[in-house]
Amino acid sequence: MRPNRIVWLSPFDPPDAFPAVDSALTEPDGLLAAGGDLSAKRLLAAYSRGIFPWYDDGQPILWWSPDPRCVLRPEDLHVSRRLRQILRNSTAELHFNRAFGAVIRACAGERKSEQGTWITGDMIAAYEQLHADGWAHSIEVWDNDGLAGGLYGLCIGKVFFGESMFSARANASKIALLGLTRHMQAFDLRLIDCQVVSPHLMTLGASVMPRHEFTQFLALACQPPIRHENWPRNSLAITQLACD
């Protein structure tokens, strides 16, 4: 029987000093380790091995690797008739990396109202550093009133590791996700990591992948850990998404 304990990391441990993911606890779902830090090197080492941080204010950093993993292949995103109609009539625009800080803070604000403060100040600072280093990215929907919704995550090799999304206007996060999948298809990026299964994600076309298959995929798709740098610099009219 697997012992009911987790590995504690020190900030002085090497960035890749994580235990094997198959040692993660079943309950709670995929808890693997605690402690360490949120340095860019440790975060990149974690994601490329199928591990991510998720914790509340007042807790140590907790590292997770769920089994199974929720994933979305870009070509599998479900676009409903209603959403296509919204796209055709939209005057909004899609932007990439225009306002990363605003997106992550909007996601934090929404989560605070629903599930606590897991996007902590330290998390925001860490991911803003990853954005400055070219690893973390935001996909945003803008309308006349400003930022309507978006999502953010990391792109390592051919995988986009989704972290969070928000909508200040109806369907804005879905539109941002659609924009991301279209970009990924154009540049042969293979998979979106959605982390934990949810009914909402499954209705959008997500599926589950056993953890061992997911980590095997990452070993090929994220090695070497290459930045994706071909993000669009200009805005895209949302109506164009309905035509693709």
Q: Tell me the per-residue pLDDT of 7-41, one tens digit each, with 9 for 90 and over.
A: 999 999 999 999 999 999 988 789 999 999 999 99
Q: What is the pTM of this model?
A: 0.95
Bigger pLDDT: 237 vs 113:
237
pLDDT at 243 over 80: no
**Mean pLDDT (whole number) for 166-193:** 96
Residue 1 in any domain: the answer is no
pLDDT at 167 (0 to 100): 95
Of 39, 66, 93, the last residue of a domain is 66
Model confidence at 236: pLDDT above 80: yes
Q: What is the mean pLDDT of the chain?
A: 93
161 lies in the same domain as 75: yes
**Domain of residue 159, CATH code:** 3.40.630.70
Domain boundary among 66, 84, 102: 66
Residues 188 and 89 both lie in one domain:
yes
Structure confidence at residue 113 as a pLDDT band (50, 70, 90): very low
Interval 58-76 mean pLDDT: 96
Residue 228 belongs to a domain: yes
Whether residue 135 sits in one domain with residue 118: yes
pLDDT value of residue 4: 58
Burial status of residue 210 (CB atoms within 10 A of its CB: 0-12, 13-18, 19 or more): exposed
Domain check: are 62 and 81 in the same one? no
Q: Over range 194-206, report the average pLDDT.
A: 94
Please check whether residue 238 lies inside any domain of the structure. Answer: yes
Percent of the chain past pLDDT 90, that is, above it, reads: 87
The arithmetic mean of pLDDT across residues 60-79, rounded, is 97
- State the residue range of the domain holding 47: 7-66
Number of domains in the chain: 2
| Together in a domain, 132 and 117 | yes
Residue 1 has pLDDT above 80, yes or no: no
- List of residues 6+ apart from 64 with CB closer than 8 A: 24, 29, 30, 31, 32, 51, 52, 53, 54, 195
Residue where one domain finishes, among candidates 41, 66, 91: 66
43 plus 125 within the same structural domain: no
The answer to the question of residue 134 being in a domain is yes
- Indicate if the pLDDT at residue 244 is higher than 80: no
Q: Is residue 2 assigned to a domain? A: no
Instruction: Please identify which residue in the block is written with the tokens 């982390």.
Output: 195
